[in-house]
Amino acid sequence: MSKFSRRDFIKAGAAVGATSFAAGFTPFAIGGATKKVVVVGGGVGGATAAKYIKMADSSIDVTIIEANKDYHTCFFSNEVLSGERELDSLKVGYSGLKKHGINIVHAWVSNIDPKGQVVKTSDGQSFPYDRCVVSPGVDFKWDTVEGFDATIAEAKPHAWLAGEQTITLKKQLHSMKQGGTFIIAPPPNPFRCPPGPGERITQVANYFKVHNPTAKIIAFDPKKGFSKGPWFQNAWERFHGFDSANPTADGMISYHALDGVVAFDAGSNTVTTASGNKVKGDVVNIIPAQKAGTVATASGLTNDKGWCPIDALTFESTMHKNIHIVGDSSVSSPMPKSGYAANSQAKVCAFAVVALLNGDKPGHPTYVNTCYSFISKHEAISVAMVYDYKDGKIVKVDGSGGLTSKEVDAKHLKMRAREAEYAHSWWSNIVDDSWG
């Protein structure tokens, strides 16, 4: 195997986007004191950044501080709701990252002191850093739906962070009375996983079709639509008697655009929408408006909208030096808030951090996103896009993206069956690439 110099590495990093970077090059170490990188959050963004920094320069001391011992991927957690998967199949541990020589600390980070360059945990530990990478995912704006808060969400779960709440929601859906009503309230933009609500409606409808065929799903969306909307609606028409020309009609699924839930009475399970509709559900799933993870706010990294502005070349915060933010918390539009985007951003960030710690200039980055959604067990659709860095911004590369065809003839259904296989291998690949 040929040797890989630091300069080659940084050049490769600039072009690698989110493709797997083959390990096997010789790590380089620079003289002088050991450099310390502390990564806050061991989800997709944090795990990937830590791993790629360590692979690039094994002399850097890399520590991840993550609240939980195990991580459950949100990706494919909607399949848990339909019974296609068990939550356990989405569980990821940290032994793979330890093998790379990364220190793993399980603790809650209360805040980062940007002046002192120290990460502080709620149990009193302090972790000094030369550079800090922050990827805490999303938190919720609890004041946007009157009567709905974090405590109520334990019993009436949003299930937008895969884990206990996913199981609770699944149990509620699976024990809902025959002919009962499931109300889902997608969040306003921007939010984690733009196709997620459509995917959730599809998965729940697939479950109801077999186990509760007279059940109803009513979606009250504050937006005028959602990612892959026409594709999902086409599937609802094919399988669930939905009428896209009249989406609010009374079928198994009715979809109310521009009429989000503004209030919830947990006692009677009744939602009130912006237009004044009052509807009682048997199961209610309110997915609240979102913002960057709390540690970002506590550390002064967020703007007035609650998200973290960054320099897209390095993902360094524009508010505090030496702190980089990747993943859902960052302002990385036009990239969506997705796991694949977080993985891609983390690689760009890792290469930049290594370059900066070694006195080099970060290379020119590219970024990528792909997102699969299951329509049924054997049918999936996807969206993909490549992004470039231009004039200080992330921009879409014209003609680079793609969406699954809307056609559903025999030829295209075969392609969708292949997409279902690709989706499964995508999950294995991103998990291995981030935590393996």
Ligand X SMILES: Cc1cc2nc3c(=O)[nH]c(=O)nc-3n(C[C@H](O)[C@H](O)[C@H](O)COP(=O)(O)OP(=O)(O)OC[C@H]3O[C@@H](n4cnc5c(N)ncnc54)[C@H](O)[C@@H]3O)c2cc1C
Q: Closest CB to ligand X belongs to which residue?
A: 43
Q: Considering only CA atoms, which of 49, 89, 77 is closest in space to residue 310? A: 49
Regarding 45 and contact with ligand X (CB under 6 A), the answer is yes
Could you tell me the smallest distance in angstroms from the CB atom of residue 291 to ligand X?
Answer: 12
Which position has the token pair 């068990």? 86
Q: Contact with ligand X (CB under 6 A): which of 94, 207, 340, 374?
A: 340
Residues 220-259 that bind ligand X (CB under 6 A): none
Candidates 175-183, 213-221, 248-256, 332-340 — which segment interacts with ligand X by CB under 6 A?
332-340
Candidates 12-20, 177-185, 303-311, 325-333 — which segment interacts with ligand X by CB under 6 A?
325-333
Regarding 416 and contact with ligand X (CB under 6 A), the answer is no
Q: Contact with ligand X (CB under 6 A): which of 160, 220, 232, 367?
A: 160
Could you tell me the smallest distance in angstroms from the CB atom of residue 153 to ligand X?
Answer: 14
Residues with Cβ < 8 Å from 212, sequence gap 6 or more? 176, 178, 179, 180
When the beta carbons of 8 and 154 are compared against ligand X, the nearer one is 154
DSSP letter string, 321-384 = TTEEE-GGGB--TTS-S-HHHHHHHHHHHHHHHHHHHTTPPP---EEEEEEEEEEETTEEEEEE
Q: Considering only CA atoms, which of 321, 412, 335, 332 is closest in space to residue 375? A: 412
Q: Is the dihedral of CA 233, 87, 187, 183 positive or negative?
A: positive
Regarding 335 and contact with ligand X (CB under 6 A), the answer is no
Which position has the token pair 């993943």? 327
In the structure, how many helices (H) and strands (E) does the chain have? 11, 25
Regarding 345 and contact with ligand X (CB under 6 A), the answer is no
When the beta carbons of 60 and 371 are compared against ligand X, the nearer one is 371
Q: Number of C-alpha atoms within 13 angstroms, CB side, residue 108?
A: 7
Regarding 202 and contact with ligand X (CB under 6 A), the answer is no
Q: Contact with ligand X (CB under 6 A): which of 163, 281, 327, 365?
A: 327
When the beta carbons of 43 and 362 are compared against ligand X, the nearer one is 43
Regarding 74 and contact with ligand X (CB under 6 A), the answer is yes
Regarding 157 and contact with ligand X (CB under 6 A), the answer is no
Helix ranges, 116-261 (H): 150-155, 164-174, 196-211, 229-240
Q: Considering only CA atoms, which of 56, 16, 48 is closest in space to residue 356? A: 56
Candidates 44-52, 55-63, 92-100, 264-272 — which segment interacts with ligand X by CB under 6 A?
44-52
Q: Considering only CA atoms, which of 345, 312, 310, 352 is closest in space to residue 327? A: 345
Q: Contact with ligand X (CB under 6 A): which of 109, 173, 323, 335?
A: 109
Q: Contact with ligand X (CB under 6 A): which of 54, 63, 78, 216?
A: 78
Q: Is the dihedral of CA 245, 247, 250, 252 positive or negative?
A: positive
When the beta carbons of 6 and 192 are compared against ligand X, the nearer one is 192
Q: Considering only CA atoms, which of 342, 318, 308, 356 is closest in space to residue 130? A: 356
Regarding 111 and contact with ligand X (CB under 6 A), the answer is no
Residues 283-312 that bind ligand X (CB under 6 A): 293, 295
Could you tell me the smallest distance in angstroms from the CB atom of residue 15 to ligand X?
Answer: 21
Residues 6-25 that bind ligand X (CB under 6 A): none
Q: What are phi and psi of 415, to 5 degrees?
A: -65, -40
Cα–Cα distance, 365 to 406 (Å, whole number): 32
Could you tell me the smallest distance in angstroms from the CB atom of residue 108 to ligand X?
Answer: 5
When the beta carbons of 71 and 207 are compared against ligand X, the nearer one is 71
When the beta carbons of 38 and 193 are compared against ligand X, the nearer one is 193
Q: Mark 121-150 with x for binding to ligand X (rule: CB under 6 A) and - for no binding.
A: --------------xxx-------------
Could you tell me the smallest distance in angstroms from the CB atom of residue 276 to ligand X?
Answer: 29
**The total number of residues written for the chain in this structure:** 436
Residues with Cβ < 8 Å from 321, sequence gap 6 or more? 114
Q: Is residue 334 reached through a cis peptide bond, with omega within 30 degrees of 0 on the bond before it?
A: yes
Give SS3 for 272.
strand
Regarding 53 and contact with ligand X (CB under 6 A), the answer is no
Q: Using CB under 6 A as the criterion, which residues of the chain lie in contact with ligand X when the complex forms?
A: 40-46, 65-68, 71, 74-75, 77-78, 108-109, 135-137, 160, 192-193, 196, 293, 295, 327-329, 337-340, 342, 371-372
